[in-house]
Structure 1
Amino acid sequence: MKLYNSLSNQIEPFNPVTEKKLNMYVCGPTVYNYIHIGNARPVIFFDVVKRLFSYLGYQVNYVSNITDVDDKIIQEAKKLGIEEQKLTAYFVKAFKEDVTALGSDLPNQMPHATNYINEMVFYINDLIEKDAAYFKGDTVYFRVNQSKDYGRLSNQILENLNVGARIEQDQNKEYPFDFTLWKQTTEGISFDSPWGKGRPGWHTECAVMNHEIFKDVIDIHGGGSDLKFPHHENEMAQSCAHDNHHLANYWMHVGRLDFKDEKMSKSLGNIILVKDLLEAYDYQAFRLLVLSHHYRQPINYSDALMKQFDNEWQRIKRALKQAFVEISIKHFQLTDKNEDAINLFVDHMCDDFNISNSMTVLYDQLKALNRSKDIKEIARLFNTIITMLELLGIKMDLVPLTNNQIELYNAWQLARNEKRYQDADVIRNRLSEEGIL
């Protein structure tokens, strides 16, 4: 297994902290709205990361947090005139439904930030005692200029960082890039602390949940490329100061999914919600779109691109469904697979998820399936393709045919062979209605 490590900016052999175990943390949603398809890309990709490592025999602990305390949550709850807890509970449920609808498994753990407030207070206090943080005015800040590696993850020099990149201007700061660990507040939900009632900073939430759940350096920390700076940079800085390690040995970042050459964001209003997209298309078609692009490359989403991959999925689905029907008709139970093709598919996936080469292997098997007339070979190719697709989280809902459906299918084939086309069309419509064709 080789992975591109954002911390070193190069592809490296994967060496786990513990043999055949993978600890992975991926930054999750801030739950004040439904997720859009740009949010969905990391959800899909890191689900595939877990699937691949599990296939390779790793025991995977995949953790993705829920940010349920945030200014955006407070503002949305205030606008709707409801309690923040009610808002977040609704959108946590909606998020889980969207994750499942996308064909992804839920992470092993989904910790909520509000369940770790006491731990965050202790963590921040430790940073103050280490002189890595300070309390001034109504806020606790992290001392960025004492972090020797600051800027390493985002590949930036501290003095040259763009002040406009989500950096707050605050006269209480000793240094412009010092970031908030805790702030006092009188608006929205707040918690007791030695620095007054308030709430933690976003960067601290993830750093602390990592620290509490894993206790030590983890294998992979992941998220969207837009999180590299400042969020992941600030997480890593706290971990270096608190625990003397970079939090993770491998940092993985997924490229953006833009809409018509523009970043998709709720504030810009140019979003397509996952739940809306899946009313029009099969989730498999969208997964195919996302996964057919290398995870580090951006995707410029358009309606035309979605239709292209929907057509591609329908083509794959028809071929597999036809094969499944033929296997069912002949009551063929062969479970054999083309292990060489599967191993080649997996080998390419292990090369920093070289999806282009992996999909070439898959489509070669699909072409062979479309050409084959031998039922044994059809079954073998069918099982091979299904295995590859399942590694991508793309599943076929195939139910064994009943005796009546088999008789109906045979009657259709007979009508075609005898050139009774009108009868064949009637039977074909019935088969289509039952989802056989």
Structure 2
Amino acid sequence: MLSLYNTLTRQKEVFQPIEPGKVRMYVCGMTVYDLCHIGHARMLAAFDVIYRWMQASGYDVTYVRNITDIDDKIIKRAAERGILPQELVEGTIADMHQDAAALGLLPPTFEPRATQHVAGMIAMIEQLIANNKAYAAANGDVYYAVREFEGYGKLSGKKLDDMRAGERIEVDPFKRDPMDFVLWKAAKPGEPSWTSPWGEGRPGWHIECSVMSCFHLGEHFDIHGGGEDLQFPHHENEIAQSEGAHGHQYVNYWLHNGFINVDGTKMSKSLGNFFTIRDVLQHFDGEVVRFFIVRSHYRSPVNFTDGILHDARQGLTRLYTALRDLDLPASAGIDWNQPYAARFKAAMDDDFNTSEAVAVLFELAGEVNKNKDAVLARLMKDLAGLLGLLQREPEAFLQGGVGEEAISAEAIDALIVARRDARAARNWAESDRIRDELTAKGIVLEDSAGTTTWRRA
């Protein structure tokens, strides 16, 4: 039975879908003002694996991952570049999809944009005002009255009075309480805006997800996910909005992935340790980045360094090498009673424990290397596919390069022929010189049964 850690209850729970056989899952996506960073990659890959495992477990999954395409950051960045916000958004979404493809992500079932749902946001805000959970202020903004929602803080475990005492809160004379948050922002000159009962304006950030999730999944659905940093205030505010409007539970299970740290320190532009996915892909294959993320449990913090990525590449190379030169039978599906498959399933059913699942793959690789067992190799590839791994031909990965390689595949093949000729002529010095030249360029030669294969180190 699948169990998962529910942030709302702070414990593992057996998963029980609202509708038997179906899963409705919403994950907070990108605010598209800039390229996605490596922390976003963690979230995207983590929930991609959860999506895949839910499907492999026999569920009909509706997976919604939104796009925030109107926001203060978008407006500011577009102004800095001298372009319209929509022009910035379209280019950044294209970049995001390119990065997602490089990481091997499955597309979500729906990918709604905030600007497509403004009418729904206005309607929910009107309902919140009618329910005495929100109020229109004299400046044209609309605020959520957090003290009118009895359950505020139940996701994060925070108490309102503690939050007010322990945090610096910007004084806003139009708020009834400093902890109230904005649902609708009055338009400023030159900003994109929509007509509303409170005048021209645009939605606040938090209301977007309440409306988009309800539109695609209903007022009550199974799973809501996102990065740990969204737990408060974003997800807390979502609960307040949705339950304040509808009067019943919003989500059954809340899942949050852990942070990525860089050299042991939280990633931050101000610290100069900030890396976009695009930066990393200039030096490492997308599947290596995915493997780096997947081999750790999604809730655990992960440290990001070049050395750890090199280690991930070596690990993935070991797995692909086990599949090399084997004639795999066609996949007939996974027999979950097979001992390795059963252990893999037990790991994934235990709160998506990919760390243990990857350990099973390495054990399989060891058996395949030892016995050249094509049936076990097929099982290894099928199991890895559920994590989005090992689906290329081994040679494509082992001989593939990233960026501008120091030496092309054609040049490598030519040097291998020259080395073979030197060995045939018993010119060992020349043979060694060619091997050393290739080694210096990051090429590993492997001699076996009279043939030579190669891979990039």
TM-score tier (shorter): 0.7 to 0.9
Percent identity reads 38
Matched residue type, 1:258: N
Give unpaired runs (5+ residues) of structure 1.
Answer: 402-410
Q: Which amino acid is 2:181 matched to?
A: F
Note the 1:159-174 alignment, pairs <5 A: 159-161=161-163, 168-174=170-176
| Alignment check: 8 A CA contact 1:153 1:233 kept | yes
Q: What is the distance in 2 between the residues matched to 1:162 and 1:320?
A: 58
Query: What amino acid sits opposite 1:159 in the alignment?
Result: D
1:152 alignment partner, one of 147, 151, 154: 154
Cα shift at 1:183: 1.1
Change (3 A) 1:269 1:436: closer
Q: Deviations over 1:339-398 (max 9, x none)?
A: 33112201211111123322222211111111114xxxx211111111121111113321
Label 1:2 to 1:166 Cα distance change in 2 as closer, same or farther (>3 A): farther
What pairs up with 1:60-209 in 2 under 5 angstroms?
A: 60-138=61-139, 139-161=141-163, 168-187=170-189, 188-209=191-212
Query: Which residue is 2:401 aligned to?
Result: none
1:363 equivalent in structure 2: 362
Aligned equivalents of 2:58 and 2:67: distance in 1?
A: 28
1:140 offset after TM fit, Å?
A: 0.4
- The residue type equivalent to 1:386 in the other structure is K
* C-alpha contact (below 8 Å) 2:164/2:179 kept by paired residues: no
SS in 1 for 2:350: coil
Distance 1:237 1:302, change over 3 A: same
The residue that corresponds to 1:55 in the other structure is 56
* Post-superposition offset of 1:216: 2.3
Deviation by residue 1:290-337 (Cα, 9 ceiling, x = unmatched): 11211111112112111111121122222222xxx232xxxx646576
Q: Of the candidates 229, 232, 237, which is equivalent to residue 226 of structure 1?
A: 229
Q: Deviations over 1:197-242 (max 9, x none)?
A: 1111100011111122222211100000000000000000111111
Structure 2 letter corresponding to 1:6 = T
Match of residue 220 from structure 2: 217
What letter is aligned with 1:255? Answer: G
Segment drifting more, 61-70 vs 245-254:
245-254
1:390 aligns with 2:385: yes
Shift of 1:255: 0.4
Distance 1:230 1:165, change over 3 A: farther
Q: 1:86 to 1:171 in 2, by over 3 A?
A: same
Moved more, 156-165 or 11-20: 156-165
| Contact map agreement 2:294 2:355 (CA 8 A) in 1 | no
In structure 2, the gaps of 5 or more residues are 397-416, 439-444
CA contact (8 A) 1:33 1:91 kept: yes
Q: Which moved more, 1:242-251 or 1:53-62?
A: 242-251
What are the equivalent positions in structure 2 for 1:261-276 lying under 5 Å apart? 261-266=264-269, 269-276=272-279
Amino acid aligned to 2:39: G
1:166 and 1:247 mapped to 2: Cα distance?
A: 29
Aligned to 1:302: 305
Task: Give the structure 1 partner of residue 326 of structure 2.
Answer: 326
Whether the aligned pair in 1 keeps the contact of 2:206 and 2:238 (CA below 8 Å) is yes
SS of match in other structure, 2:326: helix
Paired with 2:425 and 2:150, the residues of 1 have a C-alpha distance of: 79
2:22 paired residue number = 21
Quote the residue 2:405 is aligned against: none
Distance 2:119 2:452 in 1: 60
Residue identity matched to 2:173: Q
Asked if structure 2 preserves the Cα contact closer than 8 Å seen for 1:335 and 1:380, the reply is no
Corresponding residue SS for 1:385: helix
Scaled by the length of structure 2, the TM-score of the pair is 0.84
| 2:242 alignment counterpart | 239
Q: CA separation in 2, counterparts of 1:15 and 1:419?
A: 70
Correspondence list, 1:248-263, <5 A? 248-263=251-266
Q: Distance in 2 between matches of 1:293 and 1:162?
A: 36
**Residues 221, 252 of structure 2: 8 Å contact kept:** yes
Tell me the C-alpha RMSD between the 2 structures. 3.0
Which stretch shifts more, 215-224 or 419-428?
419-428
Instruction: Count how many residue pairs are aligned between Structure 1 and Structure 2.
Output: 415
TM-score of the two chains, using structure 1 as the length reference: 0.88
Per-residue CA deviations over 1:166-224 (Å, capped at 9, x if unaligned) read: 95431211111110000102142111111111111100011111122222211100000
Q: How much does 1:265 deviate?
A: 3.9
Contact 1:137–1:172 (Cα < 8 Å) also in 2: yes
